[in-house]
Amino acid sequence: MDVERRVRLRFGAAAVADATHANLSAVRTDGEHLWIAGDETATVERLTGDSADRPTEYRDHVSFPLADVVPLPGEADDEVDIEGICRNGPYLWVVGSHSTTRKKIKDGHSDAKAAKRLASVSPEPSRRVLARIALADDVPAGTTPEGGRSAALGGPGLIDVLDGDDHLASFLAIPGKDNGLDIEGIAVHGDPGQERVLLGLRGPVLRGWAVVLQVAPREDDGELKLTKSFDGGRYAKHFLDLDGLGIRDICAQGDDLLLLAGPSMDLDGPVRVYRWRGAAQIQAPDVVHREELHRELDLPHGEGDDHAEGIALLPSGELLAVYDSPAAHRLPEPGIVLADVVALKSSR
C-alpha cells in the first residue's frame, strides 16, 4: 500500500505538555475542520485546515471539555476513552469504549506484584459514554439558537441492555485488550430525531466474526434513551467476516460504511479498510459474509507502535488515517503529528 501523502496536525502547547496529542483514537472531517479525540482525555479537539480542497496542515487547535455540555459518568478528571466521533446534521456524536481495563505490569515490579496486577480488573464507568453534542458555529454548546440540545445516554445504558445478550454478555467483564467488549467506531444516519447509530466493536471477535451494534437513541426529558426499535429490542447485532480482525473505526461514505479493521487484542498485525455497501439502509440483524465486503486497502503498522485507530474522508475523497502510539517519524517536531492520506480503490 502506498501512502499518497501526509498531513500535519498541529496541536497546542497544553496538549503537548500533557502528552495527550500523540495517542489519537478518533477523527472526523467536517468542512474546513477536523474533529479529533484521544483515549486519555475527556475532551474533543478541533483543528482547522489550511485549504478547503487539499489541506496540508490542520492547525488552530481548540479543546472542548465534554463535561461543559453533557453530564459524564465517573469522576470529573476520569478519562472517557473516546474511540469514535462523527458529525450528523447539526450534531457531533461521540462514544467511549465502554471497556474494562486490566492493570499493566511496570518495569521494576516483583514477580508477585506483577501477577497481582494482572489479576486486577476495573470496570471504568467513565468510559460508558454515548453523547450527542449540539454545535453552534462549530463550537460545542449545551443548547443552540436553532433549538439544538446536547444530551448523553441515560439508563438503561449499553452495558445494561447487553447484560443478557447471548453473544456479548460473557465478554462485558473481560478487558478490551483481552478480546472483551470494546467499542471503537461510530456512524450516524438519519435526520435529527430519527437517527440510527452504528457502533463498531474491536472486541469481542467471535470465532473470527466482528460485531457491529445498531441502536436508535431518542431524546427524552433531557437525555438520550435507547428505543425498542428492533423487533421490540433496544439494539440489533450485525456479524461481519473481516478475516478475523476486529473493528478499529467506522466511517460513512454515502450509504456505505468504511471499516478500519485490525487485531482485537494488544498486538501488532494487519490493518485493513473494508467497504460494507449499503450498510446505512440495513435495519434488521444481518450476517455479512466475506464476499459481501470489498477490501479497499491495507494500512501500514509498526512493531509495538504505529497502530491505525481512526479514519476520515477528506474533501478530495481520499482517506485520512491517524495512529495511536505513533512511531518517531510521525512526530517530526513538538506539537506536530503526521497523519497518512491514502486513495480509495472503489467509489460509491
Q: d(Cα 11, Cα 336) in Å, to the nearest integer?
A: 6
Three-state SS string over the chain comes to: CCCCEEEEEECCHHHHHHCCCCCEEEEEEECCEEEEEECCCCEEEEEEECCCCCCCEEEEEEEEEHHHCCCCCCCCCCCCCEEEEEEECCEEEEEECCCEEECCCCCCCCHHHHHHHHCCEECCHHHCCEEEEEEECCEEECECCCCCECEEECCCCHHHHHCCCCCCHHHCCCEHHHCCCEEEEEEEECCCCCCEEEEEEEEEEECCEEEEEEECEEEECCEEEECCCECCECCEEEEEECCCCEEEEEEEECCEEEEEEECCCCCCCCEEEEEECCHHHCCCCEEECHHHEEEEEEECCCCCCCEEEEEEECCCCCEEEEEECCCHHHCCCCCEEEEEEECCCCCC
* Residue 118 forms part of a structural domain: yes
* Residue 156 forms part of a structural domain: yes
Domain span holding position 236? 5-342
CATH of the domain at 96: 2.120.10
Sign of CA dihedral 300, 303, 305, 308: positive
Tell me how far CA of residue 88 lies from CA of 136, 164, 193, 194, in angstroms. Answer: 14, 31, 11, 11
Residue 347 confidence (pLDDT): 52
* Residue 136 forms part of a structural domain: yes
* Residue 47 forms part of a structural domain: yes
* Residue 347 forms part of a structural domain: no
Q: Which three cell numbers stand for residue 123?
A: 470496570
Residues of the chain with pLDDT under 50: 348
Residue 16 confidence (pLDDT): 85
- Does residue 95 contact residue 130 with C-beta atoms inside 8 Å? yes
* Residue 348 forms part of a structural domain: no
* Residue 253 forms part of a structural domain: yes
Tell me how far CA of residue 110 lies from CA of 102, 120, 144, 278, in angstroms. Answer: 17, 16, 55, 53
The number of domains in the chain is: 1
* Residue 221 forms part of a structural domain: yes
Residue 348 confidence (pLDDT): 46
Q: Which three cell numbers stand for residue 223?
A: 437525555
Residue 266 confidence (pLDDT): 79
